[in-house]
A and B are shown apart, each in its own frame.
Chain A
């Protein structure tokens, strides 16, 4: 398994993430609704608004997972925040980065992952809006555009809060 890498600007990225004042806050309907909408739109069992903290990924909103955080080293989102483009893993069991990842070999048995990075206006990528399935899948250009549009709604909510605080 390849541990999730650390971007060169991780210190600044973590500073920007913590300045959102969202980590470990209670669920909020405005984020829950987007995660639920994504799960329904793509007909997947799992969807999350994931924030990548120093040593964990923490879910501000999630559908279909029995936990609210995982180790950052194990996280798919830790890989997805390395670049602004949506990261798609069509079949994790065939991807050397993830094939022996405990999230793949055990619960929740992730096979498919697509994560749209949450890049703030200041440039830092603080997390992702992501969907996961227990079956292999593909994403076409319409799917990517829809996930990107939902990602934009999450960013709007993140930065609305940022502006209000």
Chain B
């Protein structure tokens, strides 16, 4: 068991406008004791939270495509207290070639296309248990893009 996942500092941000998806992911992550969960219903709220709180992983909806990609770009550039190379799971309604390339450049851990299952999101986060996660506090160099 990865002690980072059970340390008080381990936390995940779920940025998803759909309240059923967001609340369900957050509740299940808590129920399974995977991490502390922060929730944001919009990119502006998520940006504000990321500016104030270091997290160890991000679940990011691309419902607001451009703004969400801009947020992820800023995260990878090290503009937030979180480490720049934290794992990011992207939820998207669709994905074409250019978007797939962009997500690869931004080192997205996993892309889940609508209609994805909550189970897939949770199992992706569970799989992080098997890998050493970056600490929440910043200080590492930004991930190469």
Interface residues of A (CB under 8 A from B): 33-34, 37, 40-41, 141-143, 145-146, 148-150, 152-153
Contact = CB atoms under 8 A, between A and B. Distances in A.
Given A149-B24, A149-B27, A152-B23, 4 more contacts: A33-B20, A41-B118, A41-B119, A153-B24
Contacts of A153: 20, 23-24
Contacts of A148: 27, 31
B23 A149 contact: yes
By Cβ-Cβ distance, the 6 closest A-B pairs, closest first, are: A149-B27, A145-B31, A145-B28, A149-B24, A149-B28, A146-B118
Contacts of A40: 115
B137 interface: no
Interface string B15-59: 000001001100110011000000000000000000000000000
A41 B117 contact: yes
A145 B27 contact: yes
Contacts of B23: 149, 152-153
A148 B117 CA distance: 15
Interface of B: 20, 23-24, 27-28, 31-32, 115, 117-119, 122-123
Contact of A150 (B24, B117, B119): B24
A37 B31 CA distance: 19
Contacts of B31: 145, 148-149
A142 B28 contact: yes
Contact of B123 (A33, A34, A142, A149): A142
A37 B19 CA distance: 12
B114 to A, nearest CB: 11
Contacts of B32: 141-142, 145
Nearest to B26: A149
Contacts of A37: 20, 24
Nearest to A150: B24
A143 B123 CA distance: 11
A34 to B, nearest CB: 7
B20 A146 contact: no
Nearest to B25: A149
14 contacts: A33-B20, A34-B20, A141-B32, A142-B119, A142-B123, A145-B27, A145-B28, A146-B118, A148-B31, A149-B31, A149-B118, A152-B27, A153-B20, A153-B23
A34 B21 CA distance: 10
A41 B32 CA distance: 18
A150 B117 CA distance: 13
Contacts of A149: 23-24, 27-28, 31, 118
Nearest to A34: B20
Contacts of B28: 142, 145-146, 149
A145 B24 CA distance: 9
Contacts of A150: 20, 24
Contacts of B27: 145, 148-149, 152
